[in-house]
Amino acid sequence: MRRTFFLTFEGIDGCGKSTQAERLKRALTERLLPVTHTFEPGGTALGRKLRTILVHDDLNLSLFSEVLLFAADRRQDIDEVINPALERGDIVIGERFADSSVAYQGVAGNVGQERVERLMDIVTSGLVPDLTLLLDVDPRISLARKTDLDRIEQRGPFLDAVRYAFLDMAARQPERWVVIDAARPEDDVFRDVLGAVLRRLE
């Protein structure tokens, strides 16, 4: 099996990224594969401080300011977690990466898709996931799973635009993206997640 590998989970809030990422980490570890799991925002000490600002504080952040704060978190995650893990030969599982900024702020937030893509290319030094799993679900289903909505999740129709931005990116890059119906039971979703990952690793 291939060892050094960077895969990401994308999707709107409440689609099940954390649950599926944790299950995938356990499944790969049981196969004696080295795995590092990280997430945005909050995978580093800096990220945890930025997360408080991004999702909880009532600071009336502009969407462009959001892009820059997420970018700072992402770069720190790359330097502190992702690159060292890849250099060790680990499989890196990331919950969100540059595609989230493109979908949330670039497209849905009207900051500009190409503008955010250019910024993310600089921030990531061109690092692109080997595989991106899009857990696709209607926002009305995903938000019904959550009892305490954060500042971003409370935007309502905004998440419809985010969802379709992700689907558009997946359609344009089928060699990297796999779309998985996340409205189904957790076990069914995970079967597709594990299958997609193992096929690429092998």
SS3 of the chain: CCCCEEEEEECCCCCCHHHHHHHHHHHHHHCCCCEEEEECCCCCHHHHHHHHHHHHCCCCCCHHHHHHHHHHHHHHHHHHHHHHHHHHCCEEEEECCHHHHHHHHHHHCCCCHHHHHHHHHHHCCCCCCCEEEEEECCHHHHHHCCCCCCCCHHHCCHHHHHHHHHHHHHHHCCCCEEEEECCCCHHHHHHHHHHHHHHHHC
* Higher local confidence (pLDDT), 48 or 150: 48
pLDDT at residue 18 is higher than 60: yes
pLDDT at res. 115: 97
pLDDT at residue 101 is higher than 70: yes
Write down the pTM of the prediction. 0.91
The percentage of the chain sitting over the pLDDT mark of 90, rounded to a whole number, equals: 76
By the 8 A CB rule, do 131 and 34 touch?
A: no
pLDDT at res. 51: 85
Among 13-17, 40-44, 99-103, the range with the most confident prediction by mean pLDDT is 99-103
pLDDT at residue 179 is higher than 80: yes
The backbone torsions φ and ψ at residue 29, rounded to the nearest 5 degrees and listed phi first, read -65, -40
End-to-end CA distance of the chain: 5
pLDDT at res. 33: 95
Catalogue all structural domains in the chain, each as residue range(s) with its CATH number: 5-201 (3.40.50.300)
User: CA-CA distance, 18 to 81, in Å (whole number)?
Assistant: 17
> Mind listing the pLDDT tens digit for each residue in 119-174?
999 999 999 999 999 999 999 888 776 666 555 555 568 899 999 999 999 999 99
pLDDT at res. 154: 53
